[in-house]
Structure formats: structure tokens, C-alpha cells
């Protein structure tokens, strides 16, 4: 029987998680950017009781192979604990984890020609006994226990009350590290030119082209997250602490939220760098807001998201409720839109994610042909980059980001991807420079 216990503390989710960061398989979903509309909750998952993974289309529960297609097995596990509790908090108990971009191969027949520079499970979800919940809108905090175990709750609360505030890291303006990429500049620009030829021939209207950076790094992963959070706060940040690797995310983009049977997505397209002065910032903002190319990119992705939602939402319920909203981040400006719809009666949150995966903003339109071209031109599997991180609540809710502005740390190496949407009007030099603008914050913290 679920138990919810409210508690008082002056500490935020990040500061509390600092005292649980060494707990096995602990995860922080951190709404670190101050945004009253988007940053409403943060969550910490503690004390796992089950781990679901998928590797090469095989399903595993606690390391043992089980029969069934991975998304169907995951749906059955979430459904097994299904319940009804009247509470406005969207996530009271359930599973937190990720779905890598390459899990899309389980859903569509795609070529498999690219190389793989590191290996992690395609999907991993941790089912938790306990959550620490931070209601940022109402300044309330809770601990939940799936079994109503008071002793576990008291143990968590004792640890919280021993916590202290921690200072934000001071991060240098430039990184001294050496970074490597799967592209040299001219090859990346040539790949964009090839992609534009595909657009000219009618294969796609827009496609997302990315490159991977990596470097040597033996720093503690949470320390890297601490620095990234201090310079690049984002509404959909996360820190996933697994024994074999860690994921450090400061994503500005929501993939899909399902709450009370309503689905929302917020695709991002259009980027300009932050300036070195207020005047330069204002010029760059105005340029982005008035850019017909960037607005056309966003419109194409919005159309794709509307089409994806039409597969899982009731007829005539899918609507664009916000278009061309300008958002500010530490190193860039973005244009964002919002698409909403009401789910059909037989569509679960897991099925909604499955039918719409991967996100249109980081693939292209038409989606499948864009993914085929991505496989051909990028030459390296994206892995967790442009996948999703988030939760499934046992009452049917979910919320997932798009894994951008994110670092994967494994065996003293740090990996991250950057990219952008390519249209026929794209200028190769500008698109390459945009990837570097997006990489700045990640390079600084590494």
C-alpha cells in the first residue's frame, strides 16, 4: 500500500541527491531551470526492486532473459502495478530510465551499417520502492514508499535532515581537454551537402545531422553534472547513476508528457548563439524570431509530431497550442512549439512513447527515410544521444526528455553528440558552427 509522507527541508533536489549519489542505481530527474510552466517537479528514485533492460531486441528482467518484444514486456511490467490514486503529483511510484536512439531498430526495419564506439543496453528502466518528490510550484516535498514501509521512509528522512547545502561549481570559460570527433570539419560539411542532395531529389524535407565528440575524463560523474548544472540549467535535466556508466543530461527539450490521458510534446528547431553583450543577444534573438528558414524547419517537425500523435490520440483532439516560442539557455536561443492531444482509450503511456519514438525533431520528415539517411551519413551509432530519459508512473502518466546537451560517461571516457536540422536552404559552414555553439557548455565542464 503506497505511503506518502510530506517533509520540510530548505534543500533542493540537487542538494538532497548529493547525499544519495552513491546509492546503487539512484536517478535524479532535475527541473533545474527556473521556469514556472515547465519546471514543476523534480524526482529522486531510490531502492530498486526490479530492473528491465533490452539489448538487441531481447528483453531482460534483473539480468535474466524473458520472452517478448521489449516494449510489450515493459508495458506489461508497468501495467502489472497499475492502480488509481487521486493525487495531482504526476509521479508517485513507478520506473525511471532511458530508451536509446538505436532502440528505434526494434520498431522499424533500418539499415545497420554504422559503427559503435561504446556499448550500453538499448533500454534500461529501474523500478523503485521509494521516490523523493519536489513540488517546485507549491514548495512542498514528499517521500513515497510503494509498500508503505515506514522504516524505509524514516531512514531516508534521517539522511535528508543530515544534508547540507552545497556550493555551485566555478567553471572555467574554456576547456583545456582535447576533444575528438567522428568527423573532421570538411567531411561534416560534405555530409550536409549530400543530405541537401537527398532533399533536392525529394527523399526528405528536413533531416537532423549530428556528430559525436569524446574525450578522456576520469572525474567523478556527479561532479561533472554539478558543473553542467551550474552553467546550463534546463527544465529536463537528469543524472542517472549506474554502476557500469552514468548519464549526465541538461536537456531543454521535452519529448512526450502524458498526464491524465493527455499527451504533450515540445519540439525544438532553430538555434542562435548567445552574444557577448546585451545588444548582441537582442540581435541574435531578433534574427531567430524573424528567420523564415528556422520557422519552416519547426513547422515541418510540428507537422510530423501531429502525424505521430494522430496514431495514438482521439480524432480531432490533436492541436498546436503554442508556436515559435523563444527560449533562452546559457549558450543558445531556441524556437519551440507545443502539440497536444487526448489519448485513445486503449493507448497506454508506454504505447504512446513506442508509437512516436524517436522524436521528429532529431530525425526528420519523412521519419523513416530520414533515419536511413542518418545511418548512412553519420557513420556512428547515436546510442543514448537523441534517445529519451524519463519515468513511467503506475497510474498511467509519463514524462520524457530528448537526450540532447547530454554526456555519457563510461570507463574514463566522456561522449556527447551535437547536431541540427538540415533543409535545402542550410549553409554548410553555418550548420557546422551551430554544432559547436551547442557543444560549448559540454566542453567547458569536461
Q: Which residue has the cell 566522456?
A: 414
Q: Which of 253, 297, 327, 431 is catalytic?
A: 253
Buried-state track 5-35, b at ≥16 Cβ within 10 A, e below 16:
eeeeeebbbbebbbebbebebbbbbbbbbee
* Mode of pairing for the β-strands spanning 364-365 and 262-265: unpaired
Q: CB–CB of 257/349 below 8 Å?
A: no
Distance CA 168, CA 95 (A): 29
Question: Which of 21, 196, 226, 269 does the annotation list as catalytic?
Answer: 269
Cell numbers for 40: 514543476
* Residue 260: DSSP 8-state: T
In 306-370, DSSP assigns E strands to 319-328, 332-342, 364-365
> ω before 132 within 30° of 0 (cis)?
no
SS3 345: coil
Judge whether 248 and 320 are in contact, CB under 8 Å: no
3-class DSSP state of 155: helix
Across 82-182, the runs of DSSP E, i.e. the strands, are 94-99, 123-135, 140-145, 180-181
Report angle CA 102, 108, 112 to the nearest 5 degrees: 55
Question: Residue 269 catalytic?
Answer: yes
Angle at 404 between CA 19 and CA 23, to 5 degrees: 20
Residue 432 makes CB contacts below 8 A (sequence gap 6+) with 185, 188, 189, 192
53 flagged as catalytic: no
Question: What secondary structure does DSSP assign to 379-438, as a single string?
Answer: -B--TTTTSEEEEEETTS-EEEEE--SEEEEETTEEEEEEEEEE-TT--HHHHHHHHHHH
Question: Alpha-carbon distance 265 to 54, whole Å?
Answer: 25
Question: In what helix (H) or strand (E) does residue 84 lie, and over which residues does it extend?
Answer: none
Distance of CA 318 to the CA centre of its chain: 23
Q: Which residues are catalytic?
A: 253, 269
Amino acid at each position: 500500500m503506497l505511503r506518502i509522507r510530506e517533509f520540510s527541508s530548505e534543500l533542493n533536489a540537487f542538494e538532497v541527491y548529493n547525499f544519495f549519489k552513491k546509492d546503487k542505481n539512484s536517478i535524479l530527474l532535475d527541473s533545474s531551470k527556473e521556469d514556472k510552466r515547465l519546471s514543476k517537479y523534480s524526482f529522486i528514485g531510490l531502492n530498486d526492486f526490479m530492473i528491465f533492460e533490452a539489448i538487441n531486441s531481447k528483453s531482460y528482467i534483473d539480468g535474466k532473459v524473458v520472452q517478448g518484444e521489449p516494449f510489450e514486456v515493459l508495458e506489461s511490467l508497468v501495467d502489472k502495478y497499475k492502480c488509481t490514486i487521486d493525487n495531482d503529483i504526476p509521479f508517485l511510484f513507478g520506473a525511471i530510465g532511458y530508451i536509446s536512439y538505436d532502440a528505434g531498430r526494434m520498431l522499424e526495419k533500418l539499415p545497420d551499417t554504422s559503427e559503435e564506439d561504446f556499448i550500453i543496453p538499448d533500454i534500461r528502466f529501474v523500478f523503485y520502492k521509494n521516490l523523493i518528490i519536489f513540488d517546485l510550484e507549491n514548495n512542498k516535498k514528499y517521500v513515497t514508499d510503494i509498500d508503505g514501509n515506514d522504516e524505509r521512509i524514516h531512514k531516508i528522512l534521517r539522511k535528508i535532515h543530515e544534508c547540507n547545502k552545497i556550493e555551485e561549481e566555478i567553471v572555467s570559460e574554456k576547456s583545456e581537454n582535447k576533444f575528438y570527433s567522428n568527423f573532421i570539419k570538411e567531411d561534416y560539411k560534405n555530409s550536409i551537402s549530400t543530405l541537401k542532395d537527398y532533399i533536392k531529389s525529394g527523399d526528405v524535407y528536413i533531416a537532423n545531422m549530428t556528430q559525436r565528440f569524446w574525450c578522456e575524463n576520469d572525474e567523478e560523474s556527479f561532479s561533472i553534472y554539478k558543473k553542467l548544472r551550474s552553467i546550463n540549467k534546463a527544465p529536463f535535466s537528469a543524472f542517472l547513476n549506474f554502476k557500469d556508466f552514468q548519464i549526465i543530461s541538461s536537456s531543454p527539450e521535452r519529448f512526450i508528457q502524458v498526464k491524465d490521458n493527455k499527451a504533450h510534446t515540445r519540439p525544438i528547431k532553430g538555434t542562435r548563439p548567445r552574444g557577448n553583450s546585451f545588444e548582441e543577444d537582442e540581435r541574435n534573438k531578433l534574427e531567430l524570431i524573424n528567420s523564415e528558414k528556422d520557422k519552416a524547419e519547426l513547422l515541418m517537425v510540428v507537422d510530423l509530431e501531429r502525424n505521430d500523435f494522430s496514431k495514438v490520440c482521439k480524432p480531432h483532439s490533436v492541436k498546436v497550442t503554442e508556436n515559435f516560442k523563444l527560449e533562452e539557455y546559457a549558450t543558445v536561443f531556441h524556437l519551440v512549439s507545443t502539440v497536444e492531444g487526448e489519448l485513445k482509450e486503449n493507448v497506454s503511456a508506454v504505447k504512446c512513447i513506442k508509437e512516436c519514438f524517436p522524436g521528429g525533431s532529431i530525425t526528420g520528415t519523412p521519419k523513416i527515410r530520414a533515419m536511413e539517411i542518418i545511418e548512412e551519413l553519420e557513420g556512428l551509432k547515436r546510442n543514448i544521444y537523441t534517445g529519451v530519459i524519463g519515468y513511467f508512473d503506475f497510474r498511467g502518466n509519463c514524462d520524457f526528455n530528448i537526450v540532447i546537451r547530454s554526456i555519457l560517461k563510461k570507463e574514463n571516457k566522456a561522449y556527447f553528440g551535437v547536431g541540427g536540422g538540415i533543409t535545402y536552404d542550410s549553409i554548410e559552414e553555418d550548420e557546422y558552427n551551430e554544432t559547436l555553439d551547442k557543444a560549448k557548455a559540454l566542453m567547458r565542464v569536461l
